[in-house]
Structure 1
């Protein structure tokens, strides 16, 4: 007699993508490659959320039968909670098995897409360890941190049109670059192509023009988070960034995970941010906030399968709530699908640095990889970031990986 096939609902103990997680994504199947559907990840399968909602008579069936996350993002916190509670019941209550099992697709059989339409993109510079390292590299005889750094979260407005989903190739950018000793700039492919290990936060509920968002309103507006790699051409960036900051050195590509983990799945990962040694202005002062502003997320960065860094997100000086408050304090509005990056995540130890700029000290100290030394990325290199956070009852919450391969300049 043939052995009974295990149900995809019966996950191995400790699976980081169990019912305590349920991150959202968008997928298509091989038989209907043009039809994009909303899904949640369960183990190594994807549940067709819209089909499940229809099969089980959910009042949110119409909302979930969409080709991306934007309608759910815009629906607000009550809908986010209700849908998550329903999903948890659908994948855990035995009486639902006959309806749910046929709607689960193996991960290896589907194509994953960008989960939402990105509205605006902002990237921050919120790790004191990263900012200090960068300052020491470029201003060895001056102060490592700029005078404003501990008074406000510094950021820049990026390019939403070049946000790409994990697995998308990254074309080496070309642009002007000028080394300090060069008499004039030259044009050509970047020779200092870098990574930045970050966490991206996805905005759901919009805000009105002229209405700042308070620290306490962070969970009303931010739906969830995912891993983010803010690819950086350091040589292009170094020549262009004075006086207005990053531009072409950053805008060619930013990779995000195909999965968005709801904030509700990360309650057990909340943690206090580092002690601040400067008094903050009231709109940024979180000392009296009941909710802890930080997240304990453990990131791993690998190049061609070889681990090069393990940046700890819990060390970030500025929290996501403070970043949201800073983005809107001047009256700038939020839109559904806005994405903002945490900035490079780096810790106090060498192996916790989240960029090659820091890991190699701007090329002075090459990394030893099995295939040879690296200062910055070479064509063909594949960078993969993974992460997990503490979950309820000792579980782990897995964050979907973000990966990209470098291809030669166009």
Structure 2
């Protein structure tokens, strides 16, 4: 708790994302982006937790996030992803997808390209609910059930699946460079293979029983067949998409809707979830002391970010701990990462030893010493 810095920002924060860092530099992330929602004027903002040349021992450096620049955003920011160190992709409640360029030299955000009404109904706009990037490609999904694939370097749409879903698609992630996975409002996961011309999913998985809406999904960074989801019932579900149509593990996580779930990109025996109930949980698979934390530095690309691809491989016993959800045997430990909260924690991101989250309490929390 002592290492948490809180910044009150006078707007509800819907999304937070760390700017990617170079693996070769071994740096901890310092810059992150936020998006707001439910405000008269919504914005995308860039922040730093760096000292900007001030020694941390000098007076005046308190470790709080400091604003660098901002840009007005049409509608609520429903998702936010860095395409690279300079470009930020936003998803809007107005149906638009926007590429914002961040100029590090003069600390400014500007619109690089925009698809204003990418998601729409016949007579109205439809919210764009989620975006995912694998540069130069961007994929967006929406309340209209569409999946749209864009090329950032060409400013064009390269594919649209018009009727991908009859219900709202809430989130999307890459499984591989040619496959994505979506989750929807009737508890389904759908896998889409872009090598196929068909506009039908290659696989459908679903929750049994009441089929609570699924709000979020993240793929294990080193085992593409393992994904974690969360939804309206606050349950954390872990799936192996190769083997069966229902989740391997169901764990009671939150008392209200789970808004985001993220594996740590370098140490995926750590996972983080946040919820409408005002909590942020750190999930950790405990391993015997003589067993190394698996896949340290597992990503082999030069930049580390949420959307990047990673190779397969890993310690099977720890992976099986995710799939069995054997918290009763002491393999899975959970820790509350925030002081007592009452309003929704809408978004989180984790990179290196740094965690950031945004809330409906108009606050950003940053922890630079997470135990991973």
* TM-score, with length taken from structure 2: 0.32
* Higher relative contact order, structure no. (Cα contacts within 8 Å, ≥ 6 residues apart): 1
TM-score, structure 1 as length reference: 0.29
Which structure has greater helix proportion? 1
Larger Rg: 1
